[in-house]
Every structure is written in structure tokens, then in C-alpha cells.
Amino acid sequence: MLIRVIDFESTGFPPECAIVEIGWCDVTFVDCNNITIGAPQSRLCNPGQRIPPEARAIHHISDFDIKDSLTWPVTITGENQATPGKPYPNTTEAGFMKVNDNADSQRGAE
């Protein structure tokens, strides 16, 4: 069984916030004696707004760090980009991932 652990960093709290980083790590579980933890991965995202000092104090990601990054959801749905997967429902992360669900359904209609 593959479990993808996902973490978001943002400019604040929903609904006004925007994503500045998405990180994930794959955990493969075969049985209690066979668990593999993959290398952590992350992508910076340009939130299209300034990162408030309160948010920078928590995740240490600055406006300079993200200035050349793609915006969300292009970071996740763009060509040659990894798709981190689906989060557990009813979490803050689930709200962010709904954008990816919509992109998937639009892609299937083409």
C-alpha cells in the first residue's frame, strides 16, 4: 500500500490564503516488517501575493524565494510536474487539492 504524506505552507489561513510550498513523501507499507519511506520532495509556488511576515516567521519562505516559481495549480498540474495525490478528506489540505480534482476532470473532457 502506498501512502503519500502531504504538507502545505501558505500565506495564512483559508479562505484568503494562497499556497507557497507543497511537500510530500511516499511511504510504502507491505507489512509491519517492511516499510519504506521515500525521499521528501517539494515545490515552491508563487502565491500571486506578498507573503505576510507572520507566515514567513513560521515557514521561512520569502517573496524572493518564490519570485520565479509557478503559481498554484500550475505547479501541480503542469507538464513534467509530479502530482502529489489525494489528501485525507476534511483537512485544510483537502481544500487546496480540490483545485487539482477540477483540473483532472477538465483534462478528461478534452
User: Taking the chain (110 residues) in consecutive chunks of 10 residues, what is each chunk's mean pLDDT?
Assistant: 92 88 92 91 92 95 92 61 44 51 40
| Burial of residue 52, with CB atoms counted within 10 A of its CB: 0-12 exposed, 13-18 middle, 19 or more buried | exposed
Q: What is the pLDDT of residue 82?
A: 43
Quick one: CA dihedral 80, 110, 96, 64, positive or negative?
A: positive
**pTM (2 decimals)?**
0.65
Number of folded domains that form the chain: 1
Quick one: CA dihedral 83, 89, 95, 101, positive or negative?
A: positive
Domain boundaries, position 90 = 2-109
Closest CA to 53 of 44, 62, 45: 62
Query: Cβ contacts of residue 97 below 8 Å, gap of 6+?
Result: 6, 86, 87
